[in-house]
Amino acid sequence: MLGNIEKHIAEKLPFLQEQKLLIAISGGLDSVVMTHLFHTLGYNIRLAHCNFQLRGTESDEDELFVKNLANTLNVELHTKAFETKTYATEHKESIQMAARSLRYEWFQELATTFKYDYILTAHHADDALETFLINLSRGTGIDGLTGIPENNGNIVRPLLPYTRSELKNYAKSNNIQWREDSSNASTKYIRNKIRHDIVPLLKELHPTFTENFQATQQHLQESKQIVKSSIEQLKTTVITEVADGSLQIDIKKIQETAYPKAYLFELLHSYGFTAWKDVVDLLDGQSGKQLFSKKYRLIKDREYLLLQPIQNEEKINEIEILDTTKNITNPIKLQLEEVATMTTTGSSVLYVDKKLLKFPLIVRKWKNGDYFYPFGMKGKKKLSKYFKDEKYSLIDKENQWLLCNEGQIVWVIGKRSDNRYKLTQPTNTIIKFTLQ
């Protein structure tokens, strides 16, 4: 089959012609064969080799092999050594995941710096099968079952239609030398155990197992497109982007679908959520309950689920306003100026008699037990009750700022002022607060 690879590349991947390509090369069979093929076909290629320093002198010998190959082919080579174990420890990742993160991040840096159009990796049909079985064993959706994509942004995998056996036959018939990674023989890694123990049994049961798997993958890819189209249509009816950039998911509309669990999975799995029983339980859970992925949090808020990115920067929860302050820009944009009369009005403007204020004023977030005397109402009201009446979400409450004077709330900023600071008679000095 590999003899037709030139035809495959020309017909299936025509966009690679006349492009500047970066080939990821380990020194192993698959990447070396891909390098020889693209060099023989006359493509504009450069090589990139990662030394993960995990196998002592063997890793260094791989690097030397790749350098010699690049010299022989007269092809430019990028190399980089990584402290993979240190990175894995610091980021709490497995060695395999750490190596993956490091290499793809570096490849993208090279693509940006040297203007490479595409990055080629040498994944083949056996890699796709092993990934399928790994994902299947862990539990997955259709994305996990469709395996490794042939094209993913600027990442292209030209060898996916070909098996490891076909690559090896091609290398031998063309006197191509490669390096064997000794760690591939160990079955302590799940991928190797599947490769050496499980796949041979499946092929023994069905000699055409690999071909059957590839056909199944094609069917799943087509089904995935149908699912994707359905989900995109659903998004327009159940998801709304709110003012702070969070996404609001309508619980009732999700529950009205034929398969709410399946739809919820497809809507949320790309955000890193994996505890699906807990996610589904949120639909009927208590308001205020939260779940977290690495980068997002999901909050039950009455009739909605709110999806919000987790902010890693240190939050400012309180700031002082001095008598000389003219404006603050962080964490909220607020302008102060002395004026003689009231002019502009609206929810973003507040006028207060300066004699009623004792500086420094405090801008802060709300606390349990906070209360104020809402403008236009009689008596005081707990802020928590005000939030409830105004249908604040948990995120709305977290984002609300208060202007305070000696512990008293002067203004629920941008929303409601306090009766005790109502400007009722002419005064010599008025402080105008403007939310920008």
> Could you give the strand order of the β-sheet that contains 318-321, starting from the edge strand earlier in sequence?
318-321, 361-365, 401-405, 408-412, 416-417
- Flag whether pLDDT at 414 surpasses 60: yes
CATH fold match for the domains 2-218 and 242-309 = no
- What CA–CA distance (Å, rounded) separates 255 from 391? 22
Backbone phi, then psi, for 377, in 5-degree steps?
Answer: -125, 160
Name the nearest CA neighbour of 372 among 400, 394, 391: 400
Homologous superfamily in CATH for domain 2-218: HUPs (3.40.50.620)
Burial degree of 200 (CB within 10 A; 0-12, 13-18, 19+): exposed
Instruction: Give the fold, CATH level 3, of 242-309.
Output: 3.30.465
Q: What is the DSSP letter of 196?
A: I
Encode pLDDT of 198-246 as tens digits. Answer: 999 999 999 899 889 989 998 998 998 998 899 999 999 999 988 667 8
The answer to whether 253 touches 238, Cβ cutoff 8 Å, is yes
Encode pLDDT of 124-152 as tens digits. Answer: 999 999 999 998 888 777 888 887 888 99
Q: What is the DSSP letter of 316?
A: P
Encode pLDDT of 140-193 as tens digits. Answer: 778 888 878 889 999 999 999 999 999 999 999 899 999 988 887 777 778 889
State the pTM of this model: 0.66
Domain residue ranges of the chain, discontinuous segments joined by +: 2-218, 242-309, 318-435
Residue count of the chain: 436
- What CA–CA distance (Å, rounded) separates 106 from 157? 17
Backbone phi, then psi, for 117, in 5-degree steps?
Answer: -75, -40
